[in-house]
Chains A and B, each alone.
Chain A
Amino acid sequence: MKRIGPFVVERRLAPSRGAVLGISLLAVVLALLVAAVIFWGYGVNPWHAYRVIFQGTLQSPQGWAEVVRRAIPLILCGVGLVVAFRAQFWNIGAEGQILAGAVAATGVALFSGLPDPWLLPAMFLAGFLAGAVWGMIPALLKVKFQVNDVISTLMLNYVMMYIVEWLVHGPWKGPTARGFAYSDLFPPAARLPLIPGTRIHWITLAVGVAMAIACAFLLSRTKLGYETRVVGQSQDAARYAGIDFLKVTLWVMLISGGLAGLAGAGEMAGVHYRLRSPAHISMGYGYTAIIVAWLARGSPLAAVVTAVLFGLIFAAGDVIKVALAMPFQVTDVFNGLILFFLIGSELLMYWHVRWAPKRAESEG
């Protein structure tokens, strides 16, 4: 306990919901202020920049639609990462798992020869499985060979990125792509319907929200969810409780990687309709989803909300790129700054400031 003037500062065991929300918002605002300095240093009037962003995103229905469209892959990946983080598995590999899903979905769309009505379900299934496999490799390596999960998941991002590069420059380069590094366009039956007037592929959105609900149920109401939480709390406790660490880790990464794979399949079937260079498919959704999950503090449902917040940042990046001719990397600057302030403010949440003026008799 510390006394500052008439205030008493105490430490709490668990932060209150209000403190978490208030301080998180404050952190985001501070990050935007620092970003304003960077805008200014870049020669752009920050006031003008933020006004342009606001007009381009939140002031029109089309702007909102773009925010939601950008949020779709973030919801799926963010929910998956929440599950992984609950088991203390550091899945930094959603980016690669998205790409794995995109590759599998492309394979099905272009080469499976399935009848039209089966095409889209098969693409999503293939995307899920590919993402899951790409996520389960590091799980296996961690449990069996103590390979650090941060490193293995990250390295697999690069491996998958170059596999996609290879596919679009080599074997899958479309004969109709006129020399560009694209695959052929998907047939119409392999494309998702959009909400008219927007670019929202609502089926993927619905899948994402459904997965968030399913994962919330899984974590709070099932045996696997319980085991996941125990493993996340303490691996020793999990061992004493007879929990199979390998099984839990594999399941968690099946879900986490699988959801990222679904996001990849959704981007293919709903946005791009063809495999293209990895930087165009994902633009860092997998990394941004880490912040989405971190902000959601272990709740898959909260991840839906935080995903929309970062969908806004992506949409803002698009606006800035067009209106102010600034590169899309602005979003990385925003993301990094927001994350800095969020984790920097974490300690604050445990402080409770109380108005308690000293009374004369209690002094000394």
Chain B
Amino acid sequence: MGWEEWLISTIGRALAYGAPLLWGTLGEVYAERSGVVNLGVEGMMAIGAFSAFAVAQSTGNPGLGILVAAAAGGGAALIHAFLTVTLRANQYVSGLALTMFGLGLSGLLGRGWEGIPLKHPLSPVTVPGLAEIPVLGPMLFQNQSIITYLGLVLAVVLWVLLYRTRWGITLRSVGESPATADALGVNVYLVRYLAVILGGILAGVAGGYLSVEYRPAWTEGMTGGMGWIVIALTIFVAWDPVQAIGGAVLFGALYHLSYRLQPWVAPELLKLMPYAAAIIVLTFVGLGGAQRRRGAPGALGVPYARGEK
């Protein structure tokens, strides 16, 4: 295989591996834009992955599996929203609890489903016509998932919503200065609830994609730390949905290369690449200047209590 082909297939696979990262990151970007950090992404993805697999396997309908994964992710996020928004609990601790709970519950319920291949996985698509284009065709339009394409469209839609609509201004103002938003008549609690739940729905889809398409089977802990990469990516892409595409593809490439380079390097050392890379990119981000100027929401991580100092 020539290096061009190698590069083309690597980018194609990077996109496929980047899809769950993209979905997860888009969700976390929205949650954090409203001022709520959700460290539960790993747990919500695990719940999504398991519920998608269980539903797809029992009904034979992978699409339904993805929908249920979205609902399950949203439901899990609702716990986090209730604890952090209504009860004003520490966001870090609540998110960690959600991850423990999600990994534990999916591991427990998934016991009997472990390692069985999915009968009807979501099949990859090849876009007719476009797939024939040289270079771009094999890179972007052959053997890709419909979820990858939906993710790309969603990134653009969420970007437009965030920066070009009233809704976006409302969301950003809640994350920036909830007291001011409240004074202007915005329902801070409602906005935060919706943003966190949206984050959970997208994380659920990310997990569902893993178990019904990427590796169509359920294994305990199959999210393998992707949820944490999502948290790092959210900072790396400066809370911007379109930049999230680039970040997701970059880390998708690292995940893919950790399989691709196995003939030359020990697989265990390759697998640590994405995690080491996450620290390295955030160090470079830190070299570049303060988080605040890059778009970090001003009230990130701070619970809002109406009418209190």
Whether the pair A147, B266 counts as a contact (CB closer than 8 A) is: no
Q: Are A150 and B283 in contact (CB under 8 A)?
A: no
Contact sample, A vs B, 16 pairs, CB 8 Å cutoff: A42-B109, A150-B39, A151-B231, A151-B278, A151-B279, A156-B275, A162-B268, A165-B271, A169-B266, A170-B268, A326-B108, A329-B103, A336-B101, A339-B93, A340-B101, A344-B89
Q: Tell me whether A332 and B83 are in contact (CB under 8 A).
A: no
Is B218 part of the binding interface, using a Cβ–Cβ cutoff of 8 Å?
no
- How many angstroms from the CA of A340 to the CA of B97 in the assembled complex? 6
**A13-72 interface with B by 8 A CB criterion:** 38, 41-42
Contact B279 A156 (CB under 8 A): yes
B23 at the A interface (CB under 8 A): no
Chain A nearest CB, measured from B299 CB (Å)? 16
Residue of B nearest to A90 (CB): B92
CB pair A151 B225 closer than 8 Å: no
Contact A329 B108 (CB under 8 A): yes
* Contact call B39/A336, Cβ cutoff below 8 A: no
B275 with A159: CB separation less than 8 A: yes
Q: Does B290 contact A (CB under 8 A)?
A: yes
Within 8 A of B (CB), among A136-152: 141, 144-148, 150-152
CA distance A329 to B220 in the complex (A): 10
A159 touches B272 (CB 8 A): yes
B282→A151 contact, CB < 8 A: yes
Check if A346 sits within 8 Å of B101, measured CB to CB.
Answer: no
Query: Which of B97, B231, B232, B276 has a CB less than 8 Å from the CB of A159?
Result: B276
Q: Which of A299-321 contact B (CB under 8 A)?
A: none
Q: Is the interface of B mostly helix, strand, loop or mixed?
A: helix
B88 beta carbon closer than 8 Å to chain A: yes
In the complex, which residues of chain A have a beta carbon less than 8 angstroms from the beta carbon of B89? 343-344, 346-347
User: Could you tell me if B235 and A327 are in contact, using CB atoms closer than 8 angstroms?
Assistant: no
Answer whether residue A335 sits at the interface, using C-beta atoms and an 8 A cutoff: yes
B286 lies within 8 A of chain A by Cβ: yes
Q: Which residue of A lies closest to B99 (CB)?
A: A336
A207 at interface, CB cutoff 8 A = no
Tell me if B283 and A145 are in contact (CB < 8 A): yes
User: How far, in whole Å, are A292 and B254 apart by their CA atoms in the complex?
Assistant: 35
**Taking the nearest CB of chain B, how far is it from the CB of A126, in angstroms?**
22
Is B96 in contact with chain A by the CB < 8 A criterion? Answer: yes
Q: How large is the interface on B (under 10, 10 to 19, 20 to 34, 35 or more residues)?
A: 35 or more
B residues with CB within 8 A of A: 39, 43, 79, 82-83, 87-90, 92-94, 96-105, 107-109, 111, 220, 225, 228, 231-232, 235, 266, 268-269, 271-272, 275-276, 278-279, 282-283, 285-287, 290-291
Instruction: State in angstroms the CA–CA spacing of A151 and B231 once bound together.
Output: 7
Give residues of chain A (149-184) contacting chain B, Cβ–Cβ below 8 Å.
Answer: 150-152, 154-156, 158-159, 161-163, 165-166, 169-170
Other A-B pairs, 14, CB within 8 Å; known A150-B39, A329-B108, A330-B104: A145-B287, A151-B231, A151-B282, A155-B278, A162-B275, A287-B96, A290-B93, A327-B108, A330-B108, A336-B101, A339-B93, A340-B98, A346-B89, A347-B87
**What residue of chain A has the Cβ atom nearest to residue B225's Cβ?**
A158
CB-based contact A343/B93 at 8 Å:
yes
Inter-subunit contact B283/A147 (CB<8 Å): yes
Decide if the interface of chain A is mainly helix, strand, loop or mixed.
helix
Q: How large is the interface on A (under 10, 10 to 19, 20 to 34, 35 or more residues)?
A: 35 or more
| Complex Cα spacing A359 to B105, Å | 52
**B266 touching A333 by the CB < 8 A rule?**
no
Contact (A169, B108) CB under 8 Å given A332-B103, A340-B83: no
**Chain A minimum-CB-distance residue to B305:** A347
Residues of chain A with a CB closer than 8 A to B93's CB: 290, 294, 339, 343
B107: which of A165, A329, A335 is its contact (CB, 8 Å)? Answer: A329
In contact, B104 and A332 (Cβ under 8 angstroms): yes
List the A residue with the shortest CB-CB distance to B94.
A343
Rounded to whole Å, the gap between the CB of A108 and the closest CB of chain B is 22
- Asked if A154 contacts B228 (CB within 8 A), the reply is yes
Contacts of A144 in B (CB 8 A): 286
- Which B residue sits closest to A330, measured CB to CB? B108
Instruction: Tell me, rounded to whole Å, the shortest Cβ–Cβ distance linking A157 to chain B.
Output: 8
Q: Nearest Cβ distance between residue A197 and chain B, in whole angstroms? A: 32
Chain B residue with Cβ nearest A294: B93
B100 touches A332 (CB 8 A): yes
Instruction: Say whether A130 faces chain B, with CB atoms less than 8 Å apart.
Output: no
Q: With contacts A159-B276, A162-B272 known, is A92 near B282, CB below 8 A?
A: no
